[in-house]
Structure 1
Amino acid sequence: MDRRLTPANGRVAALHLAGAVEAERYVAGVPMSVGDPVVDLCAEPDGPRDRQLLLGTRVTVFEERQGWSFVQAEDDYVGYVAASHLIPEATPTHFVATLATHAYEAEEFKSRDVLHLPFGARVTVVNERRRFFETTVGFVSKSHLRPLDRPMNDPVTVAQIHFGVPYLWGGNSSRGIDCSGLVSTSFRACGLPCPADSDMQRDGLGAEAQTPYERGDLVFWKGHVGLMVDDATLIHANAHHMATVYEPIERAVLRIAAQGDGDVIAHKRL
């Protein structure tokens, strides 16, 4: 079983895994939510970052031990989150639909900003004012939020919003993002299920396609993925540029091969 998707750590496992994996106990888990703008989901307590979770993301907590919670996020990814970052299960109503925004202390842009929120962070609106929504984390510009029941409709447009965002291995936010994080963020903002890592995306998204490329096509290398903006231009978060950039697909293919990372291994279309 893939440890990234299997809620079991030897001491505890999800109830539905009883008989399939060994554990000291099997539990249903407790639903909770992420309470901070961006938190790391780690492979082990205080270990390396696998992915990141954003404010309002729902998780199931199977164990809390020594300040770390063993969780499975709503995209099925499993790992450890510092327990201090979790709050009782919330019911978000809106998500941040701009590159970033702020939550303010009062209904006034000159008031103290209390949180910096990245694209995709989810908030709960409790009141509507003239220019701001009052949320449980502060006042947020109405123009920066979008109802969860009105997802965006083009993953490429979402990826383009992230143009220039710095590259961050395991990053999932507009503060820092990697190749698979860009794809999963773009698809999920449009209400489309999407695995978290590029190998899962290659296996789970779309069908094999032939050139010419089309807008929205996914292009995969070993350990890397990008989205086609049109028939000639790729947008991808990559460590060569250390940012999310546009790159002619022909140049990207040659550059990636020349740096020793191989040829394109899949071209998928939804």
Structure 2
Amino acid sequence: MTDRRSTPANARVALTGFASADQREVTPERVSISRPVADLRRDSGQRDRQLLMGEAFDVLERHAGRAFGISARDAYVGYIEEGDLGLPVVPTHTIGVRASHLYPEPDLKSEALLSVSFGTRLVIVDERHKFMETDTGLFVPKSHLRLVAKPFSDPVTIAQLFFGTPYLWGGNSAFGIDCSGLVQAGLLACGEGCPGDSDLQESLGGAATGAMERGDLMFWKGHVAWVVDAGTILHANAHHMAVAYEPMDKAIARIEAQGGGPVTARRRL
């Protein structure tokens, strides 16, 4: 049975090499996300994941106001509103703090026009004292930026930036995030590939043996958490409706008591 999340085809078109007799083979068109956050949806309209400004998306079809294609960061397949797409860019910097703002002038007293999340990718064209100018003519605080070419080193530290962020099913931003989004944010920021959903992430690394270590991943059916230390996890969860720290033993007991089942895997990256 094919997995729609990784199958670059719908009823009408397919990526070259994946087409059946009823589908038209197409070569992808590279674009980028032009809005702060864009929902990546199923054909039915339900949100699966989100993409951030500056991330690349490969369009296979434009139809009825939506673009069907592939997220370049993890090959996740879905639909995005055409209005959320722009010309392809080659980002130079990324937002390296939990969130920031884009301003019309290099002045903190000017009225911010956009709020952007950690992981937003920008093209910087000029430097203005404490601000950097983007290719859209907007300005971002210099201290909030990090070079794309200089990834972070500790994915758990990145996940900790999201502490208190509201839980959002399918969320991938500082405005709302879910358990697998939190794992992916940490790993992508460190230059490590990572699938978008927890069941796919369960194949990462190898089996964790012995005492749990910082950076290990704990899995339940449909859920994943970062291990912060031998007795603490950090996860985006519906119980707290936020990214929260929780004692490991307490979380294991609570999740099982609430019907989430036992831990299914422990992985070391």
Question: What TM-score bracket applies, with the shorter chain setting the length?
Answer: over 0.9
Q: TM-score, normalised by structure 1?
A: 0.97
Contact 1:222 1:265 in 2 (8 A): yes
**Which shows bigger deviation, 128-137 or 81-90?**
128-137
Query: How big is the shift at 1:209?
Result: 1.0
CA distance in 2 between counterparts of 1:210 and 1:22 reads 48
SS of the residue 1:149 aligns to = coil
CA distance in 2 between counterparts of 1:133 and 1:221 reads 43
Matches within 5 A, 1:1-270: 1-18=2-19, 21-44=20-43, 47-74=45-72, 75-137=74-136, 138-203=138-203, 205-270=204-269
4+ long deviations beyond 4 Å: none
CA distance in 1 between counterparts of 2:65 and 2:256 reads 44
CA distance in 1 between counterparts of 2:135 and 2:46 reads 31
SS of the residue 1:62 aligns to = strand
Contact 1:8 1:23 in 2 (8 A): no
SS of the residue 1:254 aligns to = helix
Deviations 1:195-218 (A, max 9, x none): 000000002x11001231100000
CA distance in 1 between counterparts of 2:112 and 2:210 reads 48
CA distance in 2 between counterparts of 1:105 and 1:25 reads 44
Contact 1:151 1:191 in 2 (8 A): yes
Change (3 A) 1:226 1:86: same
Q: TM-score, normalised by structure 2?
A: 0.97
Change (3 A) 1:250 1:128: same
Q: Percent same amino acid among aligned pairs?
A: 50
CA distance in 2 between counterparts of 1:81 and 1:32 reads 11
CA distance in 1 between counterparts of 2:174 and 2:8 reads 28
Report how many residues are paired.
Answer: 266
Change (3 A) 1:23 1:123: farther
Change (3 A) 1:77 1:23: farther
Unmatched runs of 5 consecutive residues or more in structure 1: none
Task: Calculate the aligned-residue CA RMSD, in Å.
Answer: 0.9
- The AA in structure 2 aligned to 1:146 is R
- The AA in structure 1 aligned to 2:195 is P
Deviations 1:125-171 (A, max 9, x none): 01012111101241000100000000111000000000000000000
CA distance in 2 between counterparts of 1:252 and 1:211 reads 19
Deviations 1:91-145 (A, max 9, x none): 1110101110001000100112111011101010010121111012410001000
Deviations 1:44-87 (A, max 9, x none): 16x11000000011011000001000010011000000001100
SS of the residue 1:251 aligns to = helix
Unmatched runs of 5 consecutive residues or more in structure 2: none
- The AA in structure 2 aligned to 1:230 is D
Query: How big is the shift at 1:24?
Result: 2.5
Query: How big is the shift at 1:22?
Result: 4.5
CA distance in 2 between counterparts of 1:99 and 1:168 reads 16
